[in-house]
Amino acid sequence: MQPAGAQRCGSAASAPARPCSARRSPSAASSSSPANVRRQQRRRAAPPSRTAAATVEAAPARATPDANQRSREGTYEAALVEQQATKADPEQPALADALPPFDPAADTADVAIVGAGPAGLALAAELAGQGLSVALVSLESKFVNNYGVWLDEFKDLGLTHTLDSVWDDAVCYFKEQQLVRVGRPYGRVCRRRLRQHLLDRCAAAGVRFVEAEVETASSAADAQAAELRLTDGRTVRCRLPVLASGVAAGKLLRYEDGVPPVAAQTAYGIEAEVEGYADNYPADAMLFMDFRRHHTGLYDGTAGRQQPGKSQHGGNGLWGTEGEVPSFLYAMPLGGNRVFLEETCLVARPPMPFATLKRRLERRCKALGIKIGELHEEEWSYIPVGGPLPLPDQPAAAFGAAASLVHPATGYSITRSLREAPAVARAVRVALDEQPSSAAAVRFVWEALWTQERRRQTSFQVFGMELLCQLDTAATADFFTTFFRLPASFWRGFLASKLSSVDLLSFAMLTWVLAPPNIKAKLVTHFLTDPSGRYMLDAYTGKNREQWEQPGSSSSSSSGSSSDGSGSSAAQLPAAAAGMLALQQLVQAAAERAA
């Protein structure tokens, strides 16, 4: 739902948004995946019952560091991920023209930030605004992806002037002729405006730029200075290095063990002149999700005539789809006949190939009677989600997607990174003022970013992500119908990563109460049998703290408050965690007795 591209260390952090005035992008061959890759998108076992979780081939509970990094960088879609990340836009200024130069041979910076995406530029501006000397290290890069954001969140950030389109509402379809109005305004970011806004802030604060790619990062336990070694042989010296280079930073970081592996959200999108869009969807709202199965089995132009429970393919047209990976249409009407259309797989492991998504988008449009005319732009969105979190003992601090701040269950990250940049900048300033060495400062920043409370929240989101990986098309529709029946404070807080760990348990309990029987059963089974259930339980009970803490580290006495202020009651957490553990043990014991 929010594209991000794999990056080289030293390029933009997360490949960003479309220009205000779109242009035709160079044509590119569509992705062609081997037959065995396509087969991985279906169950290899016999079709399961309707009550069983059915989706992509089950992945191991753990993956090697190299396998996780390959997943972050795009696996078999790496070529198209790179093509998306390196798109050109001559109307965006070069970094070297927007910022004064930094000379590695003559200067030492307080902070060196690797990556010039939204997260890197936002943090650089905040740090320089506090009076710190900041060096921005990056290859020349542009903002190239489409970003959709909730209007109220960008209002809170004072960034509504960077939006090029705003809709008063967002709508969803989960079943035939069942329109769900979200009741929340939505906007699309103009990548040129956002980048210019951030560059202006950086220039005004005194951020300097060196065009380079980073090879290694190091910090010392007995010295104030840290180093970034560049691929051209030069060295950038600083008191604290920060990686904001997106998924490429994973090659330089260490991660926790025993965690469900990385999955991915993939999407294929086009911006084009079309006919027939307004015959199918409200022209005054953006289409957030259309999970109706219109991408196969329908004659051209017949999707709009489908009746609930009366499909020629049985029921709601879901006969024989128990093992199919769901995808949905996400669309932004831009005025006139211009529309951005994107077929999205919310999360899967292995990732749904771009070729599959493109084929589904084309078939869906034909079934809806939407005719594609002039093509302005193609987009290949690949967002790695979930997987292990970085440990605090690292050669460098990190921020944005490089620090695993992407929401595991939704793929959202840009608003969170922009919102949290001021708090992280304050933590960096405290680290530089109080810590005795660069290594200690790096650890301090990691512990401020990933408190035990933040890890509890993320473990819950990973649990939700893994559940979505296992839901078939029918169950996914039931789940999201329930999701948007929750109080707005719950579903908005979940999407924005603003719910505390205790709030998330309340969110889960209310979801269970409102859910139909099949989703109730899946939630309980998933918690008791999936590795993500144990991962969440370990985070809530504190069993996973050993990987994170050392005697005397600052997190050992942390109160658990996170940088976004979503703390939780210390008195509530032990009781909640004990209840989760007791429930799991009780049901497991009953199952063993029954066996």
Nearest of 363, 379, 458 to residue 22 by alpha carbon: 379
- Residue 398's DSSP bridge partners are 243
**Other CB atoms closer than 10 Å to residue 490's CB: what's the count?**
19
Which amino acid is it at 326?
Answer: P
Number of helices (H), then strands (E), belonging to the chain: the values are: 17, 17
φ, ψ dihedrals at 113, nearest 5°: -105, 125
- pLDDT (0 to 100) of residue 560: 37
Q: In 2-108, where does DSSP find H-type helix? A: 35-39, 65-73, 78-85, 95-98
Fold for domain 95-259+387-449?
Answer: FAD/NAD(P)-binding domain (3.50.50)
Burial of residue 76 (CB within 10 Å: 0-12, 13-18, 19+) is middle
Task: List, in order, residues 6 or more apart from 462 with CB less than 8 Å away.
Answer: 259, 260, 386, 408, 409, 532, 535, 536
Which amino acid is it at 80?
Answer: L
Q: What is the dihedral of CA 210, 214, 216, 219, to 10 degrees?
A: 30
- pLDDT (0 to 100) of residue 149: 98
Mapped onto helix, strand or coil, the DSSP state of residue 265 is: strand
- pLDDT (0 to 100) of residue 9: 55
| Rounded distance between C-alpha atoms, residue 499 and residue 238, angstroms | 36
> DSSP states of 12-42 as a string?
-SS-----SS--PPPP-PPP---HHHHHTTS
Nearest of 208, 195, 220, 232 to residue 91 by alpha carbon: 195
Is residue 236 within 8 A of residue 104, CB to CB? The reply is yes
Is residue 245 within 8 A of residue 121, CB to CB? The reply is no
| Rounded distance between C-alpha atoms, residue 220 and residue 567, angstroms | 32
Profile the chain (595 residues) by mean pLDDT over runs of 10 residues.
Answer: 45 41 35 39 35 34 78 96 95 98 97 98 98 98 96 98 98 91 97 99 99 94 90 97 95 92 98 97 96 86 75 58 90 98 98 98 96 98 96 96 96 96 98 96 96 96 97 93 96 95 96 96 95 95 73 39 46 52 51 50
Mapped onto helix, strand or coil, the DSSP state of residue 566 is: coil
- pLDDT (0 to 100) of residue 320: 64
Is residue 111 within 8 A of residue 135, CB to CB? The reply is yes
With residues binned 3-state (H G I as helix, E B as strand, rest as coil), the percentages for the chain, rounded to 5, are 40, 20, 40
- pLDDT (0 to 100) of residue 58: 35
Mapped onto helix, strand or coil, the DSSP state of residue 374 is: strand
**Other CB atoms closer than 10 Å to residue 180's CB: what's the count?**
18
- pLDDT (0 to 100) of residue 572: 52
Tokens of 43: 């169950």
Separation in Å, CA 312 to CA 221, 316, 317, 318, 319: 69, 9, 7, 10, 10
- Give residue limits of the domains in the chain: 95-259+387-449, 452-594
Is residue 439 within 8 A of residue 414, CB to CB? The reply is no
Backbone CA torsion sign across 8, 12, 16, 19: negative
- pLDDT (0 to 100) of residue 49: 35
Prior bond of 350 cis (ω within 30°)? yes
- pLDDT (0 to 100) of residue 199: 99
| Rounded distance between C-alpha atoms, residue 454 and residue 448, angstroms | 10
| Rounded distance between C-alpha atoms, residue 470 and residue 54, angstroms | 5
Is residue 330 within 8 A of residue 287, CB to CB? The reply is yes
Strand order in the sheet with 148-150: 148-150, 186-189, 163-167
